[in-house]
Homo-oligomer: A and B are copies of this chain.
């Protein structure tokens, strides 16, 4: 499948590399078509990988992964262009973290709104599915790293078939066993706000190799 990955940081690199290893064609998008990290990704990932602008990656992908820093998400999607997003499943992994007031970061959305909702509102023709934002990127694509993979990832979104497709991807491509559908895109407030607990747990445990399991 042709997949667009928006963002060149750790999350984009890890997901892009995993998707290529699964045999997909991946185009990594950045603000600048000559972005060094995107170029390095496609150089080392072989024929299946390429890079370009956010618009290039969005036009290329049948499905898109949003891996930008939270405050770069809406600008990246504007640069990608609404026409390139329309009708597509937009997997939003980004978090509304605000580092401008020092550490630990606060959230610029997540209580009475969420970044997932802000995206869906501005791009009503995209099928936004919020997921994977609650774990470190190495766990995203390899949940078996801790607890034998016996822990939970959440999905939120308005489009049932888009959520079903993302759930299938999480299970069959990445190996997730427990995918919990929280509801429509407003439910993204839950996993986005959870980031504040993630950050404190990260400090307490001194490792990012953990996740929550919803025990029921």
Report which of B154, B156, B183, B201 forms a contact with A214, defined as CB distance below 8 A: B201
**Chain B residues near A112 (CB, 8 Å)?**
101, 106
Q: Is A1 an interface residue (CB 8 A)?
A: no
Interface size bucket, A side?
A: 35 or more
Q: Is A10 an interface residue (CB 8 A)?
A: no
Q: Is A193 an interface residue (CB 8 A)?
A: yes
Contact A196-B111, Cβ < 8 Å, known A182-B201, A204-B181, A215-B210: yes
Separation of A76 and B46 alpha carbons in the complex (Å) = 65
Of all chain B residues, the one with the shortest Cβ separation from A203 is B183
Report which of B156, B200, B212 forms a contact with A215, defined as CB distance below 8 A: B212
Once the chains bind, are B201 and A205 in contact (CB under 8 Å)?
Answer: no
- Stretch from A57-65, A80-88, A144-152 at the B interface: A144-152
Q: Is A191 an interface residue (CB 8 A)?
A: yes
Once the chains bind, are A182 and B196 in contact (CB under 8 Å)?
Answer: no
